[in-house]
Amino acid sequence: MAQLDPEEFRELIHDEGETILWYRAAPNPANNPGTNDFDEAVDDTLYAAVNLSNSVKVLITQAQREYTDRDFGAVQKGDLFLTTMPDEVRIGTMDKVILSNRTWETKERHVKGTDDTLQFMPVVSVTEIRDEAHGIIATARYTVDLATGTITFNGTPIPATEATYTVTYLYHPTFWYIGAAQSGNRPAPGFGEALPQRGMLSWKRPGGEE
């Protein structure tokens, strides 16, 4: 009878996988369920960055068809799954993952002075800003905080206050891990190590804003 060797899974993940930025989720102690003392001004979940060695990789796979999974329910074509070795990345439900090796492009409308913050972070770079009055805005006329996505204009010509402008930019996609927690605790028969854990990634934050 063939045995499942965890090291064979590790080799596959390291060969075919990629590095990520991982943020571990924890309940915010500012909200006390015992006294029903919830501050709506603070986030109910805190995220702490976990330092990973550059040698640590995870495997990102994509569903190629629609099907029903016993752990995750309805799976749509294109849904992403994350597989890790639990002794390297023991990821948990609601943890945040940034795919730092992948860059996606998006285009958004914004209103100067009231809506100058890009939706998706972290931002890699802004490709183009344009408005109806001036066309493409010169790159010297604005700066972008890559961590917060805030655009700051300076000089002229720039969009007028309350004018609509469009932004084309690149960013690293962020996901939330919604996998079954027990999937990372399965020991490999005949080995002292656990088998890989696997869970689904959601682009929308469960129970809150994206």
The pLDDT tens digits of the residues spanning 136-179 come to: 999 999 999 999 999 999 999 999 999 999 999 999 999 999 87
Model confidence, pTM: 0.81
Cβ-contact 176, 201 below 8 angstroms: yes
Of the listed ranges 14-23, 50-59, 77-86, 192-201, the least confidently predicted one is: 192-201
pLDDT at 1 over 50: no
Position 11 pLDDT exceeds 70: yes
Residue where the block lists tokens 């932004």? 167
Q: What is the pLDDT of residue 169?
A: 98
Alpha helix stretches (DSSP H) within the chain: 6-16
Give, rounded to a whole angstrom, the gap between the first and last alpha carbons of the chain.
46
CB 29 within 8 A of CB 101: no
Cis peptide before 189 (omega within 30 of 0): no
Average pLDDT, integer, range 46-69: 90
Contact 19, 101 (CB under 8 A): yes
Query: Across all residues in the chain, what is the average pLDDT?
Result: 86
Q: Evaluate if residue 5 carries a pLDDT over 50.
A: yes
What domains can you pick out in the chain, each with its CATH number?
A: 6-100+173-202 (2.40.10), 104-171 (no CATH)
| pLDDT reading at 69 higher than 90 | no
Starting at the edge strand found earlier in the chain, the sheet holding 135-136 runs 104-111, 164-171, 123-131, 135-136
Strands 174-177 and 80-84: unpaired
Confidence of residue 67 (pLDDT cuts 50, 70, 90): confident
Do 172 and 99 touch, CB atoms closer than 8 A?
yes
